[in-house]
Amino acid sequence: MVTLSNTSNLTETVVAILEKCKTLNHLKQLQSSLITLGQAQAQFFVFRLIRFCTLHLSDLHYARLIFDHVNSPNVYLYSAIINAYAAKSHHFAVLSLYKNMVDKGRPRPNHFVYPSALKSSSEVFDSYGLKMVHTQIVKTGFGSNPIVQTALVDSYTRFCSDFGTARQLFDEMSERNVVSWTAMISGYARLGKMGNAIILFDEMPERDVPSWNAIIAGCTQNGLFPEAISYLRRMLAPCEMQLRPNEVTLACALSACGQTGMLQLGKETHGYICRKGIGRDSYISNALIDMYGKCGCLKEARLVFDTTTDKSMTSWNSMINCYALHGQSRSALDVFEEMIQTENDVRPDEITFIGLLNACTHGGLVERGYYYFGLMTKVYGIEPQIEHYGCVVDLLGRAGRFEEVMDIISGMKVKADEVIWGSLLNGCKIHGNSHLAEFAIRKLIEIDPNNGGYMSMLANLYVGLAKWDEVRGVRKMLKERDAQKIPGCSWIEVDCRIHQFHSTDKTHPRAEEIYNILESLFDFINQGLLDHVCDGNINLTY
């Protein structure tokens, strides 16, 4: 039983006892002693009790009971309970408490309360709620507080994509710290404005690990994989060696390695993770599985998967998708069967069935694919998304079952997109169904009329059918619209550097040599000497 004596060092005694508390029962004993001593309304002790409840016991309910029994809670008690609710995304509770403060006018919200109020109001009321809280901030004189300004910048970029206001607030800040810079960079990255993000990052006077993570993650999420690798190398440069990459950095780096096929750098990153003992949970393991899978190293991916003790849903999905990506259909299905038999109560989600349907498509397992599509909807109650329909259309199209394809498309609850019509077109090409192919291409042109690639496909289809009037009509349309074909893109790693190439692009510094070698290869093909090149009898130097 915890007992307190009414001594002058009561504060020190309470703090010392709290450090030894392990359960809610212990806390209640301490609280009872405080009540006995007439300290039940002492704001400092109440604050410590609430913080212990929320941070150490994760008991928001009891923390709120303590708060509600205080006659006149001060701003620090409001801040403690509001931030606890915000951390658990209980946005309505946050707004209720915040409204209570504003309505009473006492105590006034401060720079610890406003960031949580901004986040919750944005989640519940979108931009309208954000602007209401912003108005209150200005009225109460907190508009120039650096913490509140940073929260405003983050909210305007994160919740209502108002970059004009966000940038104005950022430019007007008298004290920009690394957090405010990172908030602005992350905002640009979320909306794909990577040019702005990179310019801002290069202007930063100082950087920490989260700021490097923001630019690396931004590049990865926006498809700038070589740039992500470049920033990782800059982060690890000798001048930045006081910074150590964390789980987020490494996960983004592994994603970029997987997308670019940089297996060697991926292995080096894996080695670094093992040496430093980072990421023993499934977060880094999932990134490793994904990287090895995308690089075609299925044995290594499976080894990481098998040695992951706490497999999350993402772990299972990553392994299924690895096998599906490389046509190992049976292995993908085996992982799924293993997953649903596990005792960890793991339940398949939307991503799981995308992997399974892809696996069935690559393996030509039409009936099995149908079975999983039905399992998803009827057993697990998952509403099919456009990605699932795309997989089923691709599966049936490759099998030439076009009547069923059209039934699926007509019965979809979502509007068919480019993936749906592209999958149908692919099946038509395989089975020579020119009539349906023309229909699919015209649907693609309707969706993106300025895509020259679709019009070129239609022109080529008409050439194959000898419909010369239609060919001339499409080519005339191409010229009138000035439609551009999106160039293909590829990259290759040579001597630890990524070389990126676009179709018909000759900006590479060694473009002339590359095209000369390409012409030589064409000559060897024409002369029937390509087998000798592959055998290594003819030496070509890059």
pLDDT tens digit sequence for 214-233: 999 999 999 898 899 889 88
| Higher per-residue confidence, 252 vs 506 | 252
Q: What is the DSSP letter of 56?
A: T
Contact indicator for 75, 110 with CB cutoff of 8 Å: yes
d(CA 37, CA 30): 11
Percent of the chain with pLDDT over 90: 33
d(CA 430, CA 401): 12
Angle at Cα 88 formed by Cα 108 and Cα 213, nearest 5°?
100
Contact indicator for 188, 163 with CB cutoff of 8 Å: yes
Structure tokens at 8: 């002058």
| Higher per-residue confidence, 193 vs 475 | 193
Residue 539 has pLDDT above 60, yes or no: no
Average pLDDT over residues 33-55: 88
Sort strands 489-494 and 497-502 into parallel, antiparallel or unpaired.
antiparallel
CA distances (Å), origin 168, targets 115, 157, 163, 391? 18, 12, 8, 45
Q: Is the pTM of this model over 0.85?
A: no
Contact indicator for 147, 177 with CB cutoff of 8 Å: no
CA of residue 2 relative to chain centroid, distance: 48
Contact indicator for 517, 542 with CB cutoff of 8 Å: yes
pLDDT on residue 113: 92
- The helix-helix angle for 178-190 and 163-172 (nearest 10°) equals 160
Structure tokens at 82: 């509001």
pLDDT band at 332 (very low <50, low <70, confident <90, very high): very high
Residue 320 has pLDDT above 70, yes or no: yes
pLDDT on residue 61: 92
Cis peptide bond N-terminal to 107, omega within 30? yes
Average pLDDT over residues 112-136: 88
pLDDT on residue 540: 36
Average pLDDT over residues 70-82: 91
d(CA 71, CA 64): 13
For 187, residues 6+ apart whose C-beta sits below 8 A from its C-beta are 153, 154, 156, 157, 158, 163, 166
Q: What is the DSSP letter of 499?
A: E
pLDDT on residue 123: 86
Percent of the chain with pLDDT over 70: 85
pLDDT on residue 3: 55
The residue count of the chain comes to 542
Long-range contacts of residues 86-93, Cβ cutoff 8 Å, at least 24 apart: 86/116, 86/119, 86/120, 87/54, 88/60, 89/123, 90/60, 91/119, 91/120, 91/121, 91/123, 91/124, 92/120, 92/124
Q: What is the DSSP letter of 198?
A: H
pLDDT on residue 541: 36
CA distances (Å), origin 2, targets 28, 38, 69? 9, 16, 21
Structure tokens at 309: 């003790």
pLDDT on residue 484: 55
**Which has the closest alpha carbon to 69: 89, 45, 87?**
45
Residue 329 has pLDDT above 90, yes or no: yes
Q: Which amino acid is at 64?
A: R
Residue 240 has pLDDT above 90, yes or no: no
d(CA 186, CA 202): 14
Residue 532 has pLDDT above 80, yes or no: no
| Higher per-residue confidence, 460 vs 227 | 227
| Higher per-residue confidence, 369 vs 494 | 369
Exposure b/e, 132-167, CB count within 10 A at least 16 = b: ebbebbeeeebbebebbbbbbbbbbbbbbebbebbb
pLDDT band at 351 (very low <50, low <70, confident <90, very high): very high
Contact indicator for 243, 235 with CB cutoff of 8 Å: yes
pLDDT on residue 241: 58
Residue 533 has pLDDT above 50, yes or no: no
pLDDT tens digits, 1-27: 455 555 558 888 888 888 888 888 988
CA distances (Å), origin 444, targets 417, 451, 461? 8, 9, 14
pLDDT band at 39 (very low <50, low <70, confident <90, very high): confident
Q: What is the DSSP letter of 487?
A: P
Contact indicator for 270, 288 with CB cutoff of 8 Å: yes
Average pLDDT over residues 247-265: 89
Structure tokens at 241: 């060696």
Residue 499, phi then psi, degrees to nearest 5: -110, 120
Average pLDDT over residues 91-111: 89
CA distances (Å), origin 265, targets 13, 293, 493? 54, 14, 10
pLDDT on residue 424: 86
Q: Which amino acid is at 284?
A: I
For 270-282, the three-class secondary structure string (H helix, E strand, C coil) is HHHHHHHCCCCCH
* In the chain, domain spans: 489-535
| Higher per-residue confidence, 350 vs 129 | 350
d(CA 229, CA 279): 20
pLDDT on residue 15: 82
Average pLDDT over residues 523-533: 59
Q: Which of 143-152, 203-212, 365-374, 455-464 has the lowest mean pLDDT?
A: 455-464
* Mean per-residue pLDDT of the chain: 84
Q: Report the half-sphere exposure of 180 (CA within 13 A, side-chain side).
A: 22
pLDDT on residue 9: 80
Residue 30 has pLDDT above 60, yes or no: yes
d(CA 355, CA 325): 8
Q: What is the DSSP letter of 504?
A: T
pLDDT on residue 437: 80
Q: Which amino acid is at 198?
A: I
* Placement of tokens 């692009």 in the chain: 505
